[in-house]
Amino acid sequence: MNRSEIPVGRVAARFLPFALALSALIAVAGCGGKKTGPGAPGGGAGGAAPPPAQVTVVTVQPRTVPVPYELTGRIEGSREVEVRARVSGILLSRSYEEGRPIRKGQTLFVIDPSEYRAQVRAAQASLAEEQAKLARSERDVARLEPLLAAHATPRKDYDNAVSDVQEAKALVQAAQARLDEAKLDLSYTHVDAPISGVSSRAEVSEGSLVGPGENGLLTRISQVQPIWVRFSAADQTMQTLREGIASGKMSSPGNRNLEVEVVLPDGKVHPERGQVNFADSLIDPATGSQDWRAQLPNATSSLVPGQFVRVRLLGVERPGAILVPQRAVQQSAEGKFVFVVGADGKAVVKQVVVGDWLGQDWIINSGLGAGDRVIVDGVVKVQPGAPVQVVDAASSGAAAPAGDAAKSGDAPAGGKN
């Protein structure tokens, strides 16, 4: 029989054992390349747990911290005066430079004095006339006195002469008053600065008709050394402060001992601090706020009346406060919470109630106690009840926590109410 004539079924039967053996070897080799033992990663319930998340923590401790209140304020002169014309007339000249410092008593404007000089001369003449009448009446009394003593004149004539003297004296006094008034009006034609300070622009120009009333404003003067900043605090804010002081959660040295910092429009802090010199005892019903005022030296005159600034009220402190960095506080449907490292090295969720901001930290009103280790960095990898590995902030590449009470006893600068 030729090889080509061998039946196919007989050939298949001959090689079938070899094919089965080869398939078994391939299957064993494939299964042997994948570990299914306890040490295999991702091996199901029997696999090893992932390594603990690396985190940085701060150990919180109660400490006394400032409680700054930042409010909107406006700069104003410690004395602000409107310079007005007190007599009518044509404005002849302006003798000061607008916007420059001026001294008390300096002449600022001159109103045409011609009319008032004439009034003075007329008043002087009237006074002289009345004085002459008085002298004549006194001479009449002097002549009648010896005649009355000798019973050579009626008593009525003498009494009339005495009355004429008294009337003449009254007329002299009236004439003197008119002269004084005329001189005073003449003096008002020279408009002098009532205080020292910085002048504003001239409201009218030379040649204008000015006088008491609506057209009487000539310029303004503001005293800027020292200078005032006026600000107001909402009733709710002051109520919270009063309640905090009453409960012992806050302390204050008293209104007149509080200081202020002025934050300029560009965000820079004015180098001089001010002292509160006024706190209103009433709440403005129109705004629902309490008015405050503080005084600053303004040695360089850099603060300008009318300028809007932010005012930080300093001096209020909160003893026993617990601070944590803002990034450590998380938000859930139940409220704010933080992760802390428990005694067993596992992450524990603690619900917290936060208060104000202080720099980059939250003030924690409740939920944490002294010695709690709050997780700051690595929070996204943390699961409740899972073990964590605490590492140094430097080794983890994270920024040093701003609120680490165990490492720093200084309060963060600045703040937000």
Write out pLDDT tens, residues 178-220.
999 999 999 999 999 999 999 999 999 999 999 998 889 999 9
Task: Spell 240-256 as b/e; 16+ CB within 10 A means b.
Answer: bbeebeeeebbebeeee
- Contact call for residues 339 and 53 (beta carbons, < 8 A): no
pLDDT at residue 37, rounded to an integer: 41
Residues 241 and 295 in one domain: yes
Residues 125 and 151 in one domain: yes
- Contact call for residues 404 and 59 (beta carbons, < 8 A): yes
CATH classification of the domain holding 127? 1.10.287.470
Residues 247 and 300 in one domain: yes
Residue 99 lies in a domain: no
pLDDT at residue 48, rounded to an integer: 67
Residues 306 and 362 in one domain: no
The total number of structural domains that make up the chain: 3
Residues 267 and 331 in one domain: no
Query: What percent helix, strand, coil does the chain show, rounded to 5?
Result: 30, 35, 35
Which residue reads 């006074």 in tokens? 127
Residues 333 and 347 in one domain: yes
Residue 308 lies in a domain: yes
Residue 248 lies in a domain: yes
pLDDT at residue 257, rounded to an integer: 84
Residue 271 lies in a domain: yes
Strands (E), 264-400: 274-279, 289-296, 308-314, 317-325, 330-332, 335-341, 347-351, 353-358, 361-366, 373-377, 388-390
Domain boundary among 271, 299, 317: 317
Rounded Cα gap, residues 182 and 174, in angstroms: 12
- Contact call for residues 229 and 92 (beta carbons, < 8 A): no
The string of DSSP codes covering 98-150 is: TTSEE-TT-EEEEE--HHHHHHHHHHHHHHHHHHHHHHHHHHHHHHHHHHHHT
Q: Please state whether the predicted TM-score (pTM) of the whole model is above 0.85.
A: no
- Contact call for residues 168 and 51 (beta carbons, < 8 A): no
Residues 124 and 150 in one domain: yes
User: What range does the domain containing 337 cover?
Assistant: 53-65+319-396
Domain boundary among 282, 317, 352: 317
Residues 362 and 277 in one domain: no
Residue 211 lies in a domain: no
CATH classification of the domain holding 247? 2.40.30.170
Residues 58 and 141 in one domain: no
DSSP state for residue 242 in the 8-state scheme: H
Residues 235 and 302 in one domain: yes
Q: Which amino acid is at 354?
A: V
pLDDT at residue 417, rounded to an integer: 39
Residue 130 lies in a domain: yes
Residues 285 and 357 in one domain: no
The alpha helices in 150-228, defined as continuous H runs, are 155-188
Rounded Cα gap, residues 9 and 7, in angstroms: 6
Residue 48 lies in a domain: no
Domain boundary among 317, 335, 355: 317
The pair of structure tokens assigned to 73 is 């304020």
pLDDT at residue 47, rounded to an integer: 56
pLDDT at residue 244, rounded to an integer: 85
Rounded Cα gap, residues 290 and 384, in angstroms: 47
Residue 134 lies in a domain: yes
Residues 326 and 372 in one domain: yes
- Spell out, as residue ranges, where the chain has pLDDT lower than 50: 1-45, 397-417
Closest to 78 in 3D by CA, of 211, 226, 191: 226
Return the number of other C-beta atoms located less than 10 Å from residue 1's C-beta. 6
User: How far from 303 is each of 55, 76, 136, 256, 262, CA to CA, in Å?
Assistant: 48, 9, 67, 22, 10
pLDDT in tens, 311-351: 999 988 888 889 999 999 999 888 999 999 999 999 999 99
CATH classification of the domain holding 368? 2.40.420.20
